[in-house]
Amino acid sequence: MNPQTHTAPQEQPEAPASFAAILPLLLFLLIFIGTGVSLSLTGVDMAFYQLSATVAILPAIALALMQGRARLAKKITIFLTGVGEINIITMCMIYLLAGGFAATATAIGSVDATVNFGLSLVPPAFILPGLFLIGAFVSTAMGTSMGTVAAITPIALGVAAQTSIEVPVLMGVVLGGAMFGDNLSMISDTTIAATRTQGCEMGDKFRMNFLIVLPAALLTVALLWFSASGGTEVALHDFELVRVLPYMAVLVLALTGLNAFIVLAAGILLSGLVGLFCGIPGAEGQIVPYSLLRWGQDIYKGFTGMNEIMVLSMLIGGLGELIRYHGGIAWLLARVDGLARRLAGKDGRKGSSRVGESCIALLASLADICTANNTVAIILTGGLAREIALKNGIDPRRSASLLDIFSCVFQGLIPWAAQLLLAGSLSRISPLEITINNWYCMLLAVAGTLAIILGLPRVKARSTEV
């Protein structure tokens, strides 16, 4: 997850495990993705924007409210509990701050200045890998992929405006770098949840996790380098260094591990001060005054630009809580646990370790797909993953790493995840376009799978006992 909160979902008595509880999520995906695909096939422009996801999810919520034997009033309360869950509200606050910072920085010319400054230093062939490494570095320091996406997306859009690189490609790079740090950072919610549930130290998990993801990161950098080496055109323009300060400050504060709220609020404040003291770019390159009133209007403009994503995030949170209450998550956990038992058979602890690791990866993946929240996915599945690890002789460092890796893989690929929604909202493109360009998460899935199949990395085993 992202905004450094570690609260588990609200405790509500759950119904018995039920596949039917997952049907609302499937209905939402069918309506939203099906409509976009069908319109794309008929040649409609911006096909996935013709039907808002906030509307497509309403029939799914209605179906979830009709399920179960509890009174409607109780189910509505459960839905609202999910809407107001602390992680959901935290994400919504980050949406607001990210929108306010992006709008203010754009208004004072900070984005254009930062892009031109960066392009003057970075060789054209290294723009894409450089952007990925910056995202990876910032997200590892901040421990939040959401804050990283919010801080770096405007820069990526500026690069798109002054180069021949397409926006979906740049946004895929930004998201990949953000998910790198979300997975590895020792102050990330996912790391904290994974290590606590599996009973290992953060530093030990980091080293194991890093060895698994390193090949994916290196291959991503190499592919990005080669893909941009075929003649990327760069248009350089003059810039004022003072207008780069808001982004420089945000990046520096992020690297100190400061809370994402404070980082983005500081960006809004510094952007406004630069505009007030230095003016803003006007027509024909002239500098015009910037007032407190205009600053306030720009902040509000950024807030309103986040309305759709905020509403969708809250609705998804409520739907996820209903799915959990009706036994959907329990059904998934039971199916994976049963699969682990059947496949392990009488192979013994060592012989069944790969089967156990595969089931842990599957657990994390399915839970994240259903909840669209990698921290919650780890919290929900951590106990069962621990049992599978103990029964199959799996090192707790590996079980913690696999939980974190595969939850982050799908958090960076499912179009209804908060990170993709934020990136799509800021860049004005469909989250699906970003998904297909997020090479790092795809390669991370391959690296994690190969690590299970090949038993890599081979390190000295540790007891699975707490």
Q: Give the pLDDT confidence of 145-204 residue by residue, as tens digits.
A: 887 888 788 888 888 887 888 999 999 999 999 999 899 987 677 888 888 889 888 888
Residue 78 pLDDT: 95
Residue 4 pLDDT: 43
- DSSP lists the bridge partners of residue 281 as 287
Q: Domain tally for the chain?
A: 2
Peptide bond into 457 cis (omega under 30): yes
Nearest to 24 by CA among 321, 333, 313: 321
Instruction: Answer whether 236's CB lies under 8 Å from 116's CB.
Output: yes
Q: Give the pLDDT confidence of 65-98 residue by residue, as tens digits.
A: 999 889 999 999 999 999 998 878 887 887 788 7
In a domain, 75, yes or no: no
In a domain, 67, yes or no: no
For residues 294 and 268, state if they share a domain.
yes
Total residues found in the chain within this entry: 466
Which two three-digit tokens encode residue 199? 């009973």
For residues 261 and 401, state if they share a domain.
no
- DSSP lists the bridge partners of residue 287 as 281
DSSP conformational letter for 48: G
Residue 237 pLDDT: 63
Domain limits at 121? 86-313
Q: Residue 350: CA atoms inside 13 Å, Cβ hemisphere, count? A: 1
Instruction: Answer whether 373's CB lies under 8 Å from 418's CB.
Output: yes
Q: Give the pLDDT confidence of 102-121 residue by residue, as tens digits.
A: 889 889 988 778 767 776 77
For residues 167 and 229, state if they share a domain.
yes
For residues 418 and 288, state if they share a domain.
no
DSSP H helical ranges for 228-327: 245-255, 260-278, 292-304, 307-325
- 165 sits in the region (left: phi over 0; alpha: psi -120 to 50; else beta) called beta
Q: Give the pLDDT confidence of 265-307 residue by residue, as tens digits.
A: 998 999 999 999 999 888 767 889 999 999 999 999 989 988 8
Q: Give the pLDDT confidence of 339-391 residue by residue, as tens digits.
A: 777 776 655 444 468 888 998 999 899 888 877 888 878 877 887 788 788 87
Distance CA 389, CA 27 (A): 34
In a domain, 181, yes or no: yes
For residues 130 and 255, state if they share a domain.
yes
Give the number of other CB atoms < 10 A from CB of residue 17: 16
Residue 263 pLDDT: 83
For residues 361 and 257, state if they share a domain.
no
Domain boundary among 313, 342, 371: 313
Residue 98 pLDDT: 79
Domain boundary among 246, 280, 313: 313
In this prediction, what percent of the chain has a pLDDT beyond 90?
A: 33
Distance CA 61, CA 319 (A): 6
In a domain, 8, yes or no: no
Q: Give the pLDDT confidence of 412-433 residue by residue, as tens digits.
A: 999 888 899 889 988 989 888 9
Instruction: Answer whether 14's CB lies under 8 Å from 325's CB.
Output: yes
- Rounded to the nearest 5 percent, the helix, strand and coil shares of the chain are 75, 0, 25
In a domain, 49, yes or no: no
| Higher per-residue confidence, 203 vs 437 | 437
Distance CA 295, CA 301 (A): 10
In a domain, 393, yes or no: yes
For residues 362 and 398, state if they share a domain.
yes
Q: Which of 11-25, 78-92, 338-352, 397-411 has the lowest mean pLDDT?
A: 338-352
Q: Give the pLDDT confidence of 37-74 residue by residue, as tens digits.
A: 788 788 776 666 688 888 989 999 999 999 988 999 99
For residues 297 and 341, state if they share a domain.
no
For residues 305 and 406, state if they share a domain.
no
DSSP H helix total and E strand total for the chain: 23, 2
- Cβ-in-10-Å burial (0-12, 13-18, 19+) of 136 comes to buried
Distance CA 68, CA 77 (A): 14
DSSP conformational letter for 47: G
Helices 110-121 & 145-162 angle (0-180, nearest 10)? 80
In a domain, 338, yes or no: yes
Whether pLDDT at 315 is above 80? yes
SS3 of residue 163 by DSSP: strand
- DSSP lists the bridge partners of residue 234 as 163
Whether pLDDT at 396 is above 70? yes
Q: Give the pLDDT confidence of 241-274 residue by residue, as tens digits.
A: 898 888 888 877 866 767 778 888 998 999 999 9
Average pLDDT taken over every residue of the chain: 84
| Higher per-residue confidence, 26 vs 440 | 440
Residue 462 pLDDT: 57
For residues 388 and 449, state if they share a domain.
yes
DSSP conformational letter for 433: H
In a domain, 58, yes or no: no
Q: Any idea which residue has 């998804």 for tokens?
A: 316
Domain boundary among 286, 313, 340: 313
Distance CA 385, CA 336 (A): 10
Q: What confidence tier does 235 reach under pLDDT thresholds 50, 70, 90?
A: low
For residues 273 and 355, state if they share a domain.
no
Residue 81 pLDDT: 94
Whether pLDDT at 308 is above 60? yes
For residues 286 and 363, state if they share a domain.
no
